[in-house]
Chains A and B, each alone.
Chain A
């Protein structure tokens, strides 16, 4: 059967949000219900639950080579499933693993890659995929003239929808022939409770205006009250106030949260490249002329150290 294959990305034995989003993308392609299969690697106890996302078939692979993330093995697992079902479309979340797999997979399957899509348009001209280019300065519509297509979906854009509950048919597969040239020495997990900025629904970010590493305490406080992840501008990262993995922008991460709160950040074009497509932006800045104040949906003019503690209290009060 030709059809759509979705990578069921898991983490700590749970299905990741990116998997739901990829399933939504599959649905949006408007094909018959039984056209969509998932591929699940290890965590096989989750196979049945994928039926509730509308997958009629779940290809499973397991083995020690998948215990730690290894690009070549994961790519090959997806390739084997795609070949088994003659998939014409393979969808992954544009998570760090999804991005990593998709490039190699597209090469491996002689496919065409469309990364980081944020929308799908369907009309008389057929299907076009929409994705930001040039740091979000332009949105491109892309038509595909080749199969298979490997599509990655920007996190936090495609909501998990209503799926038909289907009894998934489970089909075990195996990788027969692969020499893996990567050995994983160790995998370090981020501390528990630390949210990844790539997938967070709310991000509170600090910039040079935060003034120093101690200043990030205020950012952390607000983030905690909102169950948000912590972001930063390059100025804050380059000053050594916070690790690089928090950097948002051109040379950091691109994020699409529902709410982005920029504190003491001027809103340089390179920063905007990373957060400009957030659903809502709040800016806290003592300079009303800072570029971010003109881009924000809600701009608070004032000293962030005076505003943030009050804001945090007021949010906690509102919540209770």
Chain B
């Protein structure tokens, strides 16, 4: 795929915002546009022009996505606990049934696992789309294709199976481009390439001819590590579930520590703290008034890449890139999925309110 096609794929990914924003497509798109706008803060790589920098050196490299994500999700979540003065669970809720119920659920939903695994591989292959995006895409797909989307956000196990399948499969997609084409998809695969180079292997088409055994080894290691991870999960599941019962007086300071330390460790600049407060307050208001925060994060993540591919497309082909056959096909697919979903929405196919969270619905302590 060239830059024009990759730009349209990004656009398609962003159009998923309207799909994922479900009950509030306009607000979802506003949030995504805001995220795109934030992605342009700083010195533009292509032209060197300062955009929305306001003579602040801190803004030259843009605003860190990790600080924004920490603030927008962490601060309102901790506020939930502080408001209700409860733990994540109001009372001890032991894990019901056997751990093998999870295995049975997964086997029963095998077709969803397969579909979402393909979503994960696709996200892994597309440069720049990462774990921030894959969960939402898989969850959205599962909810949209479900006969009872109202159950999502209320304990439907498919809401767990879908993102987890996609998330695990994404690593495989990452490795396809990393090993076979030699370009990394992120920091982890970049480090992986460095490690391979240190051992004398050159990732890329040549590796397929010269060292296929290394590629097969990586495939096996990936599979075995998944099995080990599952076994560890089996052993620790009951202990981890107890975290939900911890009192808010322990959880809120713990969240303060991780949010403040996480934000401050990015640049170790006091302005990081100002940014985390600002976006924390913004995250609170966005959630309160129904503007989906994941849509904004999606716009922020994709914005930089979209601009890069758009710039390359225009610089290389002018506006004739719009007439490339693959671009036309992808645009039609993007438009079709967008319009069909919105049309289905307007028909009011589903009527039960549901959300990805809903912690605020817990019974509060009025003291």
- Is chain B a partner of chain A in the same complex? no
